[in-house]
Amino acid sequence: MAKVTFATDVCKGCGLCVEACPRHLLVLAKDKINKKGHFPAEITDISQCIGCAFCATMCPDCVITVEK
């Protein structure tokens, strides 16, 4: 199983990672706001993650780390 880590305090909520996820497991938080005032990305079901790291590759701010 993959481990996905988000540096939520620097996420600008652009949504590129959400669009890149082939399993549609990422969403922008609806109930959390980070220090910059954005809704950060988060994973909905880590057990379904295949560890492809497409989300980390698409992130322009290197917010996401994927480990297998």
Residue 39 in contact with residue 15, Cβ under 8 Å?
A: no
The pTM of this model reads 0.91
3 state DSSP class of 52: coil
- The total domain count for the chain is 1
* β-pair type (3-6, 41-43): unpaired
Q: How far is CA 29 from the centre of its chain?
A: 10
Q: Which residues of the chain have pLDDT under 50?
A: none
Q: What is the pLDDT of residues 6-25, one digit of tens each?
A: 999 999 999 999 999 999 99
| Nearest of 20, 53, 17 to residue 29 by alpha carbon | 17
Domain residues for the domain of 15 are 3-67
24: CATH: 3.30.70.20
